[in-house]
Structure 1
């Protein structure tokens, strides 16, 4: 009778790190080969001698309760002056000729009809005014 001898296997309580070292070396070679091929981006730093253009205050178009229009140029002192829609178009052309990036804000009376504000927005859009905004009064706390 043949006795089977059981071979007792010892449990392995260590990690085999050889495959990890192989993978690490392959990655190292890949990085070493590709690193010289990468072209770093160029950064354009600002020059000391360059001056920034001062910001211009927006032109304000005021829509009154009765639908009448007034304009105020915040770059020039003075009270707002009444204007018709035809005069507004010509006045805006003159302002846009000097500074095409100047903003225009619409300040409407709270009791003014929404339709009048939309008409002014449409007029500004037809004149190709690029920067248009609505002026709002913050609520009192």
Structure 2
């Protein structure tokens, strides 16, 4: 490797090179770290789903809006802070905003199997207020139990 290059006028000038190998090593390490931590991230609130024979849906373009009800009857949504208990007005506003951005977005209800039936019906009325016309229910396949 030449550190000095002879120019036409017969004087020497230093040739600057940047060694990028250490940067590539750092980027590969970061890539591996992100690949390992991504599956660990939780997808919403933990809900014990009821078992039912149902059809698997295909979400090719975008993720659906998932509103969850835990066994204590608290509401959660997969938009924004997923671990924060939300009241009805916030649920209605966030779902309505998602529908205004994409009228064809799918809305799913993920209810715990031990939650009171009235809480799911209450959630359905909130979704109707937000402008949702069709709602899907998330269940767990009996084979996976």
Does the residue aligned with 1:83 lie in a helix, a strand or coil?
Answer: coil
Q: How many residues are treated as equivalent by the alignment?
A: 85
Distance 1:118 1:103, change over 3 A: same
Root-mean-square deviation (CA, aligned residues, Å) is 2.0
Whether the aligned pair in 2 keeps the contact of 1:61 and 1:106 (CA below 8 Å) is yes
Match 2:120 to one of 117, 121, 128? 117
Query: Which one has a bigger Cα radius of gyration?
Result: 1
1:70 pairs, out of 50, 70, 76, with 76
Structure 1 residues without counterparts, runs of 5 or longer: 1-53
Out of 132, 137, 140, the residue aligned to residue 137 of structure 1 is 140
Please report how far the alpha carbon of residue 79 of structure 1 lies from its aligned counterpart in structure 2 after TM superposition: 4.5
CA distance in 1, matches of 2:130, 2:100: 12
Larger relative contact order, structure 1 or 2 (CA cutoff 8 Å, min sep 6): 2
Moved over 2 A (4+): 78-82
In the TM superposition, 1:1-141 aligns within 5 A as 55-73=61-79, 79-140=82-143
Flag structure 2 segments of 5+ consecutive residues without an equivalent: 1-59
